[in-house]
Chain A
Amino acid sequence: MAAGAQAAGGTDWRLRAAPLIGIIARHRVLAAVIFLAVFPWLAPYKALAVNILIFGLFAMGFNLIYGYAGMLSFGHAALFGLGAYGCGVPIAKFGVPWFIGLPLGVVTAGLASVVIGWFATRSRGIYFAMVTLALSQVVYYVVFQWVSLTGGEDGLRGVNVPAIDVFGAHLSIVDPTVKYYLILAIVAAAMWVFSRILASPFGAVMEAIRENERRAAACGYDVNRTRWLAFILSGLFSGLAGALYAIHLSIVPIETLHYFTSAVVLMMTLLGGMGTFFGPFLGALIYLLLQDVVTVVTVHWQLVVGTLFVLLILFFPRGVWGSLTHWASR
């Protein structure tokens, strides 16, 4: 009896949750922006909220190649980092304004993904991961050695963007709330573009190639060129995230290019749910919140986050958002 009532309760919950998840899925950009607009008032402090925005965007870009096109890149740190340096160097060394630095960062990452993608999309599976890793390490060492331009090991300092003038309004970026909403505006625009790409005919091609590469080729799709374009698009979003990171921190740490960053973005995507729209953002949120909370208790935060990650992969391989939508659609 009790078990029956419990089961009925579960179904009832599911019946109530399913339409809500349906509405959220239909208006995914709006839903994400509403949540992120309220989010800083729930987060411990604004700088963390900004980090979640930026890494959420990075993970979203990474998810395009991993979750939608089905290729595990282990070199996305190069694209994120080059976005950061491509934006930071012109601002710090040549004094260009932010609204030129930001697109320069995106273009730098875009050019890098054209080159890295051209080489990497010729290989498959583990070889693809290895080629992207190797090429991103090349980028790391070039930036590391080119001290005069990049600051080398110490990172790039002096990416100062004190204030932003938008339509006559003078917005001081030193104010964390203002900074958060400015970055949210840019991230929201990127989300909208991303959502359009997923809904485009090209989005269908990516999924078809992920599902069955041989069949897609037999249908008449040029698999390598599709993968290459997906990689470039992914690189542009990652680069935008990196450029925003440079403005947010007003320095660019060399760690942005380190392969650990490639692993972090993979963990975030898996935590939230690969191949889902909200998953990467949710994953970035969980990862960074955990890191923040656990660091207060112990310096060995990676041990705790790592254990949780392993448990989640074992028992919820679809990730948090992926498991939720799967449960609702059952």
Chain B
Amino acid sequence: MSAAPILEVEALAKRFGGFTALADVTARFFSGSLTSIIGPNGAGKSTFFNLISGSLAPSDGRIRFQSRDITAEPQHRFAHLGIAKSFQITNLFPQLSVLENVRVAAQAMKSRFDIWSKRENYRDLVTRAEELLATVGLAARRHDAVENLAHGDQRSLEIAVALACDPRLLLLDEPTAGMSPEEARAMMDLILRLNQERTVILVEHRMKLVMGISDRILVLHHGRLLAEGAPDDIRSHEEVRRVYLGQSV
């Protein structure tokens, strides 16, 4: 935690026409940490994620990754810089096999415009994809069609695809969305394992799930940073309790 910040955002804002989705968010994320971003629906969590993963360009403010300003970088550069994200709504290559989903994602780091050599020349990509599938527990399903996977398995595949570029910073947008409590717990175990090797930022609206595993928590509300701190501080935070009225924090 004492290490240098891997990601810094400064006065980050996003407006859609007249609507302000996110305003003046300043935060630092430290190398090796696991940070969760929570907040009620419509708090700006996904917008914040889309900004730091390059899916959207900010209206204001700056984003620095490993001290480098990446605010204006196009989306596809983020994976090469070492930032990957998994999507909230499962967002895979539906007609490709489970293995090919991860293999083609890993290929982006090696070969993007090679029209002549054979795919078999890139054997290491298949090995890498198989390793990643083993990590998320999908090794046995590698030849299946994506559409035949159960929802929980598709969520795991999401993460394997995000890991394919070997990111230093892994952004997970509601990885447990739609999962049963058992599946969600298994997913949290996986996230803890991944956090041993890389920095993780997690969006979640089920607060309880992340309390036990996060180093730090940021609370967004109405597009603004309401609170940030260790889970215990957040638990006893007056305003956070008001926002999450009726829920045991």
Other contacts beyond A205-B107, A212-B91: 16, CB < 8 A: A196-B118, A199-B118, A200-B116, A201-B119, A203-B119, A207-B104, A211-B96, A215-B91, A217-B75, A218-B53, A218-B85, A220-B78, A220-B108, A221-B108, A222-B112, A226-B113
| B91 & A214 in contact (Cβ 8 Å cutoff) | yes
Taking a contact as CB atoms under 8 Å apart, the answer to whether A219 and B119 are in contact is no
Q: Which residues of A186-238 are within 8 A (CB) of B?
A: 196-197, 199-205, 207-208, 211-212, 214-223, 225-226, 229, 233
Question: Which of B53, B85, B95, B122 has a CB less than 8 Å from the CB of A211?
Answer: B95
Residues in chain B within 8 A of chain A (CB atoms): 53, 55, 74-80, 84-85, 87, 91-96, 100, 103-105, 107-119, 122, 161-162, 164-165
Inter-subunit contact A220/B94 (CB<8 Å): no
Nearest CB of chain B from residue A200's CB, rounded to whole Å: 5
Known contacts A212-B92, A215-B93, A220-B165; decide if A200 and B104 are in contact (CB<8 Å).
no
B93 near A212 with CB under 8 A, answer yes
Q: Do the beta carbons of A208 and B119 come within 8 Å of each other?
A: no
Give the dominant DSSP class at B's interface.
loop
- Contact between chains at B79 and A201 (CB < 8 Å): no
Q: List 11 contacting pairs A-B, 8 Å CB cutoff, sorted by A.
A: A196-B118, A201-B111, A201-B119, A202-B113, A204-B100, A205-B112, A211-B95, A215-B87, A218-B76, A219-B105, A221-B108
Q: Which residue of A lies closest to B103 (CB)?
A: A204
Known: A220-B109, A221-B108. A204 touches B92 (CB 8 A): no
Closest to B109 in A: A220
Known contacts: A199-B119, A207-B96, A219-B161. The answer to whether A229 contacts B91 by CB under 8 A is no
Q: Report the bound CA distance from A201 to B120 in whole Å.
A: 9
List the A side residues contacting B161 at CB < 8 Å: 215, 219
* A233 in contact with B115 given A205-B107, A208-B96, A219-B105 (CB within 8 Å): yes
B111 CB, nearest partner CB in chain A, Å: 4
B84 partner residues in chain A, CB cutoff 8 A: 218
Q: Are A222 and B76 in contact (CB under 8 A)?
A: yes
Cα separation A218 to B53 with both chains bound (whole Å): 8
Neighbouring B residues of A211 by C-beta, 8 Å: 93-96
B105: chain A residues at CB < 8 Å are 219
Q: How far is the CA of A10 from the CA of B114 in the complex (A)?
A: 43
Shortest Cβ distance from A211 into B: residue = B93
- Complex CA gap A220/B113 in Å reads 12
The listed residue (B87, B93, B118, B162) touching A208 by CB distance below 8 A is: B93
Q: Once bound together, how far apart are the Cα atoms of A203 and B107, in whole Å?
A: 12
Q: Which residues of B contact A201 (CB under 8 A)?
A: 107, 110-112, 114, 117, 119, 122
B162 partner residues in chain A, CB cutoff 8 A: 218
